[in-house]
Structure 1
């Protein structure tokens, strides 16, 4: 029997991989593991399985094996595969790409808010992958096997910040295992409603689709549904009615930061989907309401920025870490809150 951990769909740091756990039947004849897995896993290829083995992503009884390993009765196989082939054609488009780092295996980019990462319903053009296809074509980049790059994770359309893309399937497969093992360092900056009693904390709670709105995620605290999710945070700066926090993801689930902070009563500032685009804290004075509405106009999206990204290079093994400055819209709103707080306390 093949037990599959579903393709993990998340917008706050999407982990693009599939995980399978396969106990081998007692009557199984000796068979190469690549052939065995090709027979057991639907919608994959022998080459993808062999790449997974080369990347160390196929474990038998918790030990990595090569593609020629012969499976035996009683073996327990664990496999992490990079994301399935995409049906949508990615056409090159002349869209600016802010490259933070690039070599023959990976590229790190700084995604602006408002840009979708890959083509999907209602967004078939103007995506980051279209932009990368145009960038690689313009620069005659030969090492990108598919012409536009291989996603390892993603961030939501209205979240800004760092994104890692592989240039070949082997690099993608190795990086997918790092995400699966929670070895990738990711920190975000978020402006949230309300103040905190403590300077740091951890939010733990299974995340699953909201039963009444499939576009949202919600916390199931009893663990009856959804996926295990952990978000660590620390306070950076307090403004009384809102707080700037740094978030460190231990897991990468759909809308994890947005749903977790709503769950503890601190929705992200200006987050329409999770209720942060309403005045949740403060006074009843008209002047205050106008001030907050002006902030919403400057920042008409959730106040969330993927600030740092650290990972082990899939070929050299060297640890790499990158940071991205806070975008102008968030900077402007934070500066307005800083001045407002100073005037209020004067």
Structure 2
């Protein structure tokens, strides 16, 4: 695998070593092999690790197969992939409701990761999970297209530099225009599938809610949610805890009908190499 990356115009001059270790999070073992094999070049010339790189330099890295062993992944159906954004390093898809993000067993081949692996196979590329959506949740989801960019995207997610906005339809009339739910979430001791509000042992979770519209005839409210934390089932548990469960929620609604009305509507991030702002909007299907 060979990657060529042009450093952005606002790049701060630093050594090749710092670029690989601090900026691009290349694992120590892989950095070692890049160095001893002389597999780093800058503007077409071999570069030692103490060399300085600056804005607009073209950095080329050549990896051997053993640097990043490719996992075994069964191929699914490429026609089930809906692309919102794609380039050499990452891809954003519109995940259908009712489809798992990734397999939990080695013989599964009907998850979004399997279908994406089939979509990328003709390009000799392979997908890597950056984050996940619940099986019942639809919408925008980000994958890495190579193992090199995966830890960089992971850091963006961890440092809250990837913005995600969800759309949901909840039971009842949420009269407030906006509110923030701050409640700790833990595991349900009686049902391993579920999470519960647990202010004593749970992990802090923060959800910002904005009202969109109220349907008086159906007695339901359309809302948007932004997560400040990323706990399992966070939006679903928080909304149920204030008496407005998401319609169709099979775990947290007393009378679920139809699909779970939760959709990852927008995903924003600055491209890890170019700095370009990527905005992916996933239009929900029939609610």
TM normalised by structure 1 equals 0.61
Question: Does the 8 Å CA contact 1:269/1:276 hold for their aligned counterparts?
Answer: no
How far is the alpha carbon of 1:323 from its aligned partner?
Answer: 0.5
Work out which of the residue numbers 187, 204, 207 in structure 2 matches 1:231: 207
Deviations 1:97-120 (A, max 9, x none): 111111000011111111111111
Alignment of 1:22-171 (within 5 A): 46-47=28-29, 89-96=72-79, 97-121=81-105, 124-137=108-121, 140-142=122-124, 144=125, 147=126, 149-171=127-149
* Distance (Å, rounded) in 1 between the aligned partners of 2:93 and 2:31: 28
- Unmatched runs of 5 consecutive residues or more in structure 2: 1-26, 33-48, 51-67
- Kept in 2, the 8 Å contact 1:95–1:126? The answer is no
Give the helix-richer structure, 1 or 2: 1
Residue 179 of structure 1 aligns to a residue whose secondary structure is helix
In structure 2, the partner of 1:202 is: 180
Structural RMSD (CA):
2.7
CA deviations 1:229-274 (Å, max 9, x no partner) are 1110111111232111011111111011101101111111011111
Q: Does 1:191 align with 2:162?
A: no
- Is contact 2:194-2:251 (8 Å) kept? yes
Map Cα deviations across residues 97-147 of structure 1 (whole Å, 9 max, x no partner): 11111100001111111111111149812111111111112xx223x3xx3
- Provide closer, same or farther for how the CA distance between residues 314 and 47 of structure 1 changes in structure 2, counting only shifts above 3 A: farther
Alignment of 1:326-337 (within 5 A): 326-328=284-286, 330=287
Q: Deviations over 1:24-76 (max 9, x none)?
A: xxxxxxxxxxxxxxxxxxxxx744798xxxxxxxxxxxxxxxx99xxxxxxxx
Aligned to 2:269: 311
Which whole-Å CA distance do the structure 2 matches of 1:86 and 1:170 have between them?
11
**CA distance in 1: counterparts of 2:118 and 2:235, whole angstroms:** 31
Give the direction of change, closer, same or farther, for the CA distance of 1:106–1:270 in structure 2 (3 Å limit): same
